[in-house]
Amino acid sequence: MTIPTTPDVASEPDADAPRARRPRRAESNKYSGGWFARRLPWWFAAALLLGGAFLWIYPFLWMVSASLKNQLEIFGAGLSLIPEAAEWENYSRAWNEANFSTYTWNTIIVTSVTVLLVVARCAMAGYVIGRYGFAGKKLVMVILIATFFVPTGYTIIPVVEISQQLGLLNSLTGMIIAMSGGGNVAAILLYAGYFRGIPKELEESAVVDGAGFFTIFFRIMLPLAMPITATVTLMTFLATWNNFFIPLVFSLSRPELRTLSVGMRAFVSENTTDWGGMAAAATISLIPLIILFVLLQRHFVKGFAGAIKQ
Partner 1 sequence: MALTLGGRQEARPPDVTKRNRKQRFGRQQLWIWLLLTPTVLLYGAYTVYPIIASYWYSFVEWNGFEAEKTWVGVQNYKDVLADDLFWNSFKITILFMLVVVPLKVILTLLLALLLNSPKLPFSTFFRTVYFLPVVTTAAIIGVVMQFVFDPASGPINQLLVTLGLSDGGINFLGDSSTALWTAAGIYVWKWFGITMIYWLAALQTIPDEVYEAARIDGAGAWHLLRRITIPLLKPFMIIITLLSFEAALKVFDLMLTLTNGGPYYATEVVEIYIYRWAFSATIPQLGYASAAAVIFGLFVCIVGLFQLYGVRAVQKARAAQ
For residues 240 and 108, the answer to whether their CB atoms sit within 8 Å is no
Report if residue 8 touches partner 1, rule: CB under 8 A: yes
Q: Whose Cβ is closer to partner 1: residue 31's or residue 35's?
A: 35
Residue 75 C-alpha from the chain's centroid:
32
Is 151 an interacting residue with respect to partner 1 (CB under 8 A)? yes
276 binds partner 1 (CB under 8 A): no
Distances (CA, A) of 159 to 135, 177, 187, 245, 277: 28, 10, 21, 11, 34
Handedness of CA 23, 29, 31, 35 (dihedral sign): negative
Query: Distances from the Cα of 35 to the Cαs of 27, 29, 186, 193, 258, in angstroms?
Result: 13, 11, 47, 47, 58
CB of 7 or CB of 23, closer to partner 1: 7
Residues 194-213 that bind partner 1 (CB under 8 A): 213
Per the CB < 8 A criterion, the answer to whether 241 and 179 are in contact is no
Helix runs in 68-151, H state only? 71-76, 89-92, 100-131, 137-146
How far apart are CB 127 and partner 1 at their closest, in Å? 7
CB of 98 to partner 1, least distance (A): 13
Q: For residues 52 and 6, is the Cβ–Cβ distance under 8 A?
A: yes
Q: How far is the CB of 283 from partner 1 (least distance, A)?
A: 9
Mask: binding to partner 1, 23-42, rule CB under 8 A, as x and -?
Answer: ----------------x--x
State in angstroms the smallest separation of the CB of 108 from partner 1: 14
82 binds partner 1 (CB under 8 A): no
Q: How far apart are CA 177 and CA 179, in angstroms?
A: 5
Which of residues 211, 220, 252, 299 is near partner 1 by CB under 8 A? Answer: 252
Q: Which of 35, 85, 158, 210 binds partner 1 (CB under 8 A)?
A: 158
Binding characters for partner 1, 210-249, by CB under 8 A (x = yes): ---xx--x--------------------x--xx-xx---x
| CB contact set of 96 (below 8 Å; sequence gap of 6+) | none
Nearer to partner 1, 46 or 202 (CB): 46
- Count Cα atoms within 13 angstroms, Cβ side, for 180: 20
Closest distance of CB 153 from partner 1, Å? 4
Q: What is the DSSP letter of 280?
A: H
The answer to the question of residue 157 lying near partner 1 (CB under 8 A) is yes
88/304 with CB nearer partner 1: 304
Stretch that binds partner 1, among 28-36, 59-67, 192-200, 225-233 (CB under 8 A): 59-67
Rounded-to-integer distance, Cα 137 and Cα 296, Å: 36
Asked if 181 touches partner 1 (CB under 8 A), the answer is yes
Candidate list 28, 133, 226, 270; residue touching partner 1; CB under 8 A: 133
- Binding of residue 132 to partner 1 (CB under 8 A): yes
